[in-house]
Amino acid sequence: MNALHFAKRICALLLLLALLSALAGCGQSGDESAAPEAIEPKGKVYYSYFDTVSYVYDYAGDSAERFDDRSAEVSLILQEYHQLFDIYHEYAGVVNLCTLNKAAGGEALSLDPRLIDFLLTARDMYDLTGGEMNVMLGAVLRLWHDCREAASTDPEHASIPTEEQLKEAEGHTGIELLEIDAEKGTARITDPLASIDVGALGKGYAVERAAEYLESVGAEGYVLNVGGNIRCIGARPDGSGWVTAIRNPDRAAEDFALRIRISDTACVTSGIYERYFTVDGVRYHHIIDKDTLNPAAYYESLTVITRDSGLADALSTALFCMPWEESVRLAESLEGVEALWIFPDGEQRSTSGFAAYAAEA
């Protein structure tokens, strides 16, 4: 099944992260009280959030009790955002995005302040990316989602949305159809056929809130990974970063395009291999270009490194949907943002500051 396959791939990636990190720590002692290579990283894994696998790692040698407390709080934060952002299910006592979508065309709803903050951020991300990352693309995304789901149960009869369906749906994707009253704490979707989909931003945003919590309690040497949205809190105890690898989109999971070393920052990749289905031998992935209403065709993967994991998530989707000149111009214009583009022929291009993250072989 798809989800399991996905989980396995993430596991492989994380194992690699752990392995490479262990290697990177070797031979770097210096502090007689705690030789870093002596510290066994602790980890927890959760399967219930955002339709993916989530990991919390502690490389700083926290006591088992403290790690349990901190990872439990991270898990709770992810769970709460998972419920708030879910567009397919509602939960007892929670007004979430599913509720907001159902109420489209009706009255404004009072929302949890966290949801209001999120919606305001989503609108900022729309502005920042010239509408390439648009949470109001729900009507179009649903057509693709339904075809993908149908293909997973009946691959023989897999099909893609028709041009007419896509064009019709496009008429219900304006960002202005989402009205937010921050003062009153309410929001409403004005068009009954419009809907919100936060797949491009929700995970990264939630990870950033969890990272904020860890920072607020003085945690250092933690790594969060929620479905490939990686956020490092501080650095390893010896001050070095974690080595992780960016997958080669075309090849087996063991083959990596590039290794990077990161600390105190987020790293998010959007790729054609994350979720897709096949019709008549053609692969259709899940990142949709607003200009064609079809899967974006410029790159095979797009990696963003920046401190805020929500920004990294939004940009990884948006830059993926932009032609090279525009994409690199936007990335270079943003302070503290670095990006790596992998093209269909395997060519790699990056922002001028990306090389600083390259890990020595």
User: What is the rounded distance in angstroms from the CA atom of residue 157 to the CA atom of residue 149?
Assistant: 12
Q: How far apart are CB 179 and ligand ADP at their closest, in Å?
A: 19
- If binding is defined by CB under 6 A, does position 195 make contact with ligand ADP? no
Contact flags string 92-131 toward ligand ADP, x per CB under 6 A = ----------------------------------------
User: What is the rounded distance in angstroms from the CA atom of residue 269 to the CA atom of residue 259?
Assistant: 13
Contact flags string 41-60 toward ligand ADP, x per CB under 6 A = --------------------
Q: Nearer to ligand ADP by C-beta: 209 or 275? A: 275
Look up tokens 């994380």; give the residue. Answer: 14
Q: Does residue 235 sit in helix, strand or coil? A: coil
Q: How far apart are CB 290 and ligand ADP at their closest, in Å?
A: 6
* Binds 141: which of Mg ion, ligand ADP, none (CB < 5-8 Å by kind): ligand ADP
Q: Nearer to ligand ADP by C-beta: 121 or 317? A: 317
DSSP string, 339-353: EEEE-TTS-EEE-TT
Look up tokens 């809130």; give the residue. Answer: 209
* Binds 274: which of Mg ion, ligand ADP, none (CB < 5-8 Å by kind): ligand ADP
* Binds 293: which of ligand ADP, Mg ion, none (CB < 5-8 Å by kind): none
- If binding is defined by CB under 6 A, does position 137 make contact with ligand ADP? yes
- Is-contact 211 224, C-beta < 8 A? yes
CB neighbours (10 Å) of residue 254?
A: 10
- If binding is defined by CB under 6 A, does position 290 make contact with ligand ADP? yes
What backbone phi and psi angles, to 5 degrees, belong to 49? -115, 135
3-state SS string over 6-47? HHHHHHHHHHHHHHHHHHHHCCCCCCCCCCHHHCCCEEEEEC
CB neighbours (10 Å) of residue 354?
A: 21
Span 284-343, contacts to Mg ion by CB under 5 A: 313, 316-317
User: What is the rounded distance in angstroms from the CA atom of residue 13 to the CA atom of residue 227?
Assistant: 10
- Is-contact 349 299, C-beta < 8 A? no
- If binding is defined by CB under 6 A, does position 317 make contact with ligand ADP? yes
Q: How far apart are CB 50 and ligand ADP at their closest, in Å?
A: 8
- If binding is defined by CB under 6 A, does position 274 make contact with ligand ADP? yes
Range 289-298 burial, b when 16+ CB lie within 10 A, else e: bbeebebbeb
Among 199, 221, 241, 249, binds ligand ADP (CB under 6 A): 199
* Binds 287: which of ligand ADP, Mg ion, none (CB < 5-8 Å by kind): ligand ADP
- If binding is defined by CB under 6 A, does position 306 make contact with ligand ADP? no
- Residue 247's DSSP bridge partners are 256
- Is-contact 316 268, C-beta < 8 A? yes
Binding residues for Mg ion, rule CB under 5 A, total 4
- Is-contact 52 7, C-beta < 8 A? yes
* DSSP symbol at 246: E
- If binding is defined by CB under 6 A, does position 141 make contact with ligand ADP? yes
* Binds 187: which of Mg ion, ligand ADP, none (CB < 5-8 Å by kind): none
- If binding is defined by CB under 6 A, does position 327 make contact with ligand ADP? no
Footprint of ligand ADP on this chain (CB under 6 A)? 132-135, 137, 141, 197, 199-200, 203, 227-228, 270, 274-275, 286-288, 290, 313, 316-317, 321
Q: Which residues bind Mg ion (CB under 5 A)?
A: 200, 313, 316-317
